[in-house]
Chains A and B, each alone.
Chain A
């Protein structure tokens, strides 16, 4: 499945490029999405860059405000001589209940959402099963999406939204890619239109629901499209077959149909445009030939 997807993506890109060769120089199509510039990369690990921390939203806090004194209650400072010291995942070890003290609504939304459900499921499994998975396959806690040490305050809606998309893309790359192919993503992320929807505008900021449920999807649509009726929720926003657990057969068939039509249109475009490019080219050669012969 993944291979086919890659191939289709590649074929689509190549088709578009080939068609545009006569139109624009290839350089015109070679720049990157603004997303590439926004990804924060300092996350994870045990070390905190205090300079960047001071400039963040939490910059005025002391360490103890969030981390306590390490020895209160049942928790103990880990043994610094143990061979596993600092090998554990910092995100998993931190008790994010502490965020609740200041961010109660967000915390409660998170608890009622899909990410917390995934975490509960993960915790029920025998320990060790999920430990070996890469970070982007594990259920997320607060710290997986939010950088407690570096996240900046007072971002504009578009800056915030672009960061959101790049954060979600870490675990949901196919969804992010299809979103960026969709009008919402193009307007919001690429052109910075603050009226267009970012990930969280449809899926909810902390609940992060999949919108498999038709009614929930329609309600999400209606936030911006108040006229939307039942059929509107069938518009495919993420035409991808990756993450099959999230898909039903109906959507799968719609995605297949969209792909077939895309391929057929691409073939038609290549045939028509190719014929007339060749036609014009040979014609010019003939006329040049006649001209040069006349001058002899």
Chain B
């Protein structure tokens, strides 16, 4: 195999500076949203009082929540613009096997991977994005849009109650809350555990912050992507 002949510790670049920066800003924005939002929702708790005291009251919590929402949504806008640029100017594929677009293969991968959990099958040959990474991304991407929409309902109830009956504000509140709970439970627990804390990668996975990874890690975690990278140059990937 061609890949085996090369240096195992050679450094490879997996994420572009824009992708690293967006991840960092979304990470900060999302954490800010979670803290300010849950401090309002669980406002009877002592830690919520602590955060409210820290920023100077419920009004400031609400203000900061909207500020973080705008920062986070700005990332979605930049990302969508980048997708157009990637597709139209770089002629990249946003639905191919190396893209983050979900494919039937992901479902097969998931069952094979779960077979591996129970020692029945081997680890699937993952491409650039594994099925759980795709889920992480899509849940966040779709979630930010729906959270943004229900959030706007709660931000401008006077306006939206002229378009729709008033109880839609209540429904928006319910959806906003439960989606927030799902998002926080997935990002703060599942995402951190699967990317940083599981024994294979413990204690920390730095690739999304530095963009760098090694050939050895790539062979282990994303063999399909490595194969693809060896065949093409980074720009076309």
Contact = CB atoms under 8 A, between A and B. Distances in A.
A190 B43 contact: yes
Contact of A228 (B40, B161, B165): B161
A229 B162 CA distance: 6
A154 interface: no
A283 B170 contact: no
Contact of B171 (A22, A180, A257, A283): A257
Contacts of A196: 58
B235 interface: no
A261 B58 CA distance: 27
A232 interface: yes
A231 B186 contact: no
Contact of A186 (B58, B185, B194, B197): B58
Interface residues of B, number: 54
A20 to B, nearest CB: 8
Contact of B57 (A191, A232, A280): A191
Grouping DSSP codes into helix (H, G, I), strand (E, B) and loop, the B interface class, with mixed when no group exceeds half, is helix
A282 B120 CA distance: 14
Interface string A243-283: 00000000000100110011001101100110011011011
B41 A23 contact: no
B175 A265 contact: yes
B186 A273 contact: yes
Contacts of B43: 186-187, 190-191
A8 interface: no
Given A286-B119, A287-B200, A235 B189 contact: no
A193 B58 contact: yes
B57 A193 contact: yes
B52 A254 contact: no
Contacts of B171: 257-258, 261
A276 B190 contact: yes
B186 A272 contact: yes
12 contacts: A16-B181, A22-B189, A23-B189, A187-B58, A232-B162, A261-B171, A261-B175, A269-B182, A284-B193, A284-B198, A287-B200, A291-B199
Given A16-B181, A232-B161, 17 more contacts: A31-B44, A180-B44, A186-B43, A187-B59, A190-B48, A191-B49, A257-B171, A258-B167, A261-B174, A269-B178, A273-B182, A276-B132, A276-B186, A277-B190, A279-B190, A284-B197, A288-B199
Interface of B: 40-49, 52, 57-59, 61-62, 114, 116-119, 132, 157-159, 161-162, 164-167, 169-171, 173-175, 177-179, 181-182, 184-186, 188-190, 193-194, 197-200
Interface of A: 16, 19-20, 22-23, 28-29, 31-34, 180, 183, 186-187, 190-193, 195-196, 225, 227-229, 231-236, 239, 254, 257-258, 261-262, 265-266, 268-269, 272-273, 276-277, 279-280, 282-289, 291
